Structure 1
Amino acid sequence: MARASVIGTGMTTFGVHDRTLAELFAEAVFPALDDAGVGTTEVDALYFGNAMGGQTENETHLAPKLASHVGMAGIPAQRFEDACATSANAFKHAVQAVESGVHDVVLVGGAERCTPETGLDTAAMTRVFASAAHRQVEQPTGLTFPGAFALLTKRHMYEHGTTEEQLAEIAVKNHYHGSLNPRAHFGRDISVEEVLDSPVVADPFHLMDCCPFSDGASAVVVVSEDAAESFDGDPVDVTGIGHATDVVPMADKAHPSTTQSARDAAAEAYDQADTTADAMDFAEVHDCFTGAEVMATEAIGLFEDGGAGPAVAEGRTRLDGDIPVNPSGGLKAKGHPIGATGTAQVVELTEQLRGEAGDRQVADAQRAVAHNLGGGAATTVVTVMEGRA
């Protein structure tokens, strides 16, 4: 049974933009409303995701600002912040709002500017990202998120034999998928050798194992299952959505590489949807680093522990494989404007399940799962969606 339905999607290209947050968000919002056949006066609430605007641009109290900018002043508008899981959490609350009858139509999305167009260089932006780490335990050591996920990945390599070449295959696969996505930050073919020859950022990650800083916005229109029939948009149903957290700081995790919050959130989402990982036709997962994709696909049940690295090397997660992962290009190639990433995954699931993904279309896709994490895998939101026959 559907908990809610997505009837409209909109998304900017991800990359470097010289526009304001408000302008970027509007560029995603109006196509989403047009797609849904919903007017601005029919939207009951705005749930907006932005993680870093207060630090990067001195922009706070963003929800009413952006509601005003898109012609929706007066409606309830709320900003969500949950590190990289920001707009996935906003989406969860939108689903709950329409399911419970609090609202009939919710506009939900996110926007972020993370490139030097904000006036911050890479070092400064890396410091901003590190604010999601533990203030007293992790930040004083200089631990950045490349270092954090490198630690998790090295443990996975030690336990399961995952190799740098297998990690590089993920980058190659996602860049190929990105080359088929006109909204992706990066879209070109690369080789395993190019990845392994790129500079080391944090062992075992080379530069091309890491996702880029991106600017961009995404938006979706969420309605109740019954209300979906009242609008023109082609509905895709949300059948399950799980949300869980893990211990912070990372050193206190029960096990470094199992990403327990993802396992708990996935179990909740699959249970709500009355389905299993085996029934998923494809997945969008949070591949901020290539090692993160390995751990994510195992955590949400697509592969047994230790099985993701070999599966990638065998081509199973490519677009023509038996379980495509990140047909959008993922964060690695599509890009990662923090507050926009969660709903961008929902955009991809919706377009794929409608059969509207063009050159990157997954054949006969009926069910899919999205995995969006925040911080050092301390928060994870997992969403299951299904198309209508």
Structure 2
Amino acid sequence: DGMTGIDSTSIYAMSALAFMRRTDATVSDFARVAVRNRQNARHNPNAHLPLDIAPEDVAASTMIAAPYRRLDCSPLSDGAACVILSQPGNLPGTGKGRARIVGMGSANDRVRLAERADPGTFAAKRLAAQQAYSHAGITPAQIGLAEVYDSYSGAQLQALEALGLADDVVAAERRGVFDATGTVPTNLSGGLLGQGAPVGATGVAQIVSCAHQLEGRYAGLGPRITPRFALADTHGGIATLCAVTILGGVE
């Protein structure tokens, strides 16, 4: 699609429109995501865009590619992240337990939306998640915290649907399931929308956020109840290459 001169925001927007037609999601649902993630970022000392905004601010921001307005879009950020992998007990330091990577999965899709069975569905993300759940030996219902790839507000709902974290993702969004006080608090870091989107470091940063949440040492907003399992979801392209990592809490 990019070879025709269309940019990535426009392609994401076309995918979001297909998602909206299938699910009855509205721009108000997208605005709710954009507001919540930016508000979550206000608790994160490393966040790029910790904004105090309301849905009215999203609706009043500049239209970029319908249905997305400027505040529906994540920034391109500078940043870096690092994860140190070790066998249990081999890490020096405080002596406290560490989160564990218990499952991983990856899958890819057609690059062009027109070649996909449903341009509004992140099919590769669904396959990557199924692999990760199988590898971890758990079900989606056991995930109690998620950091997902919200390059655009609607992409967060598309991701949550593909990850199987709600039977009806739009209804779950409206019920507050993905709020900090919900059953699956999502992007407490602020996500790409609020924390920022440093290309190449984003997925690693998601894993760091999940690990610190599970270990009880996160610098930002924390979940009401520390969960047993957390999920980090990242992708390249328009959910073209997807990777899902599941972390288990300290034992």
TM-score range, shorter chain: over 0.9
**% identity of equivalent residues:** 34
Quick one: structure 1 residues 346 and 359, their matched pair in 2 at CA, closer, same or farther if it must change by over 3 Å? closer
Matching residue of 1:236: 99
Larger RCO: Structure 1 or Structure 2 (Cα < 8 Å, ≥ 6 residues apart)?
2
Q: What is aligned with 1:268?
A: 131
Instruction: Give 2:90's aligned amino acid.
Output: S
Q: What does residue 373 of structure 1 align with?
A: 235
Q: How many pairs were matched up?
A: 247
Partner of 2:249: 387
Tell me, in whole angstroms, the C-alpha distance in 2 between the residues paired with 1:370 and 1:230. 24
| Paired amino acid for 2:88 | A
Distance (Å, rounded) in 1 between the aligned partners of 2:227 and 2:218: 11
Aligned partners of 1:244 and 1:380 also within 8 Å = yes
Matches within 5 A, 1:99-178: 138-178=1-41
What's the secondary structure of 2:155's corresponding residue? Answer: helix
Letter in 2 for 1:339: G
Over the residues paired in the alignment, what is the CA RMSD in angstroms? 1.2
Q: Which residue identity lines up with residue 31 of structure 2 in the other structure?
A: A
Pairs within 5 Å for 1:138-287: 138-223=1-86, 227-233=87-93, 234-287=97-150
Distance in 1, Cα, partners of 2:73 & 2:205: 19
Counterpart residue identity of residue 230, structure 1:
N
Instruction: Give unpaired runs (5+ residues) of structure 1.
Output: 1-137
In the TM superposition, what is the alpha-carbon distance from 1:142 to its structure 2 partner? 1.6
**Quick one: which amino acid aligns to residue 142 of structure 1?**
G
Residues in 1 aligned to 2:112 and 2:11: alpha-carbon distance in whole angstroms: 10
Cα distance, 1:358–1:320 mapped onto 2, change above 3 Å = farther
Aligned match of 1:340: 201
Query: Which residue is equivalent to 1:297?
Result: 160
Letter in 2 for 1:369: L
Counterpart Cα distance in 1 of 2:241 and 2:100: 24
3-state SS, counterpart of residue 291 of structure 1? helix
Q: Is the Cα contact below 8 Å between 2:45 and 2:220 reproduced in 1? A: no
Q: Distance in 2 between matches of 1:359 and 1:378?
A: 30
1:369 counterpart SS class: strand
Structure 1 stretches (4+) deviating beyond 3 angstroms? none
Deviation at 1:141, TM superposition (A): 2.0
CA distance in 1 between partners of 2:60 and 2:110 (Å): 35
Aligned to 1:58: none
Kindly indicate whether the alpha-carbon contact (under 8 Å) linking 1:355 and 1:365 is maintained by their aligned counterparts in 2. Answer: no
* Distance change (3 Å), C-alpha of 1:359 and 1:286: closer
Contact 1:167–1:309 at 8 Å: present in 2 too? no
Give the conservation status (yes or no) of the 8 Å contact 2:2–2:8.
no
| TM-aligned CA deviation for residue 359 of structure 1 | 4.6
5+ residue gaps, structure 2 = none
- Larger radius of gyration, structure 1 or 2? 1
Q: Residues of 1 paired with 2:220 and 2:232: CA distance?
A: 20
In the alignment, residue 125 of structure 2 is paired with which amino acid? A
TM-score after normalising by structure 1: 0.62
Task: Give the conservation status (yes or no) of the 8 Å contact 2:142–2:228.
Answer: no
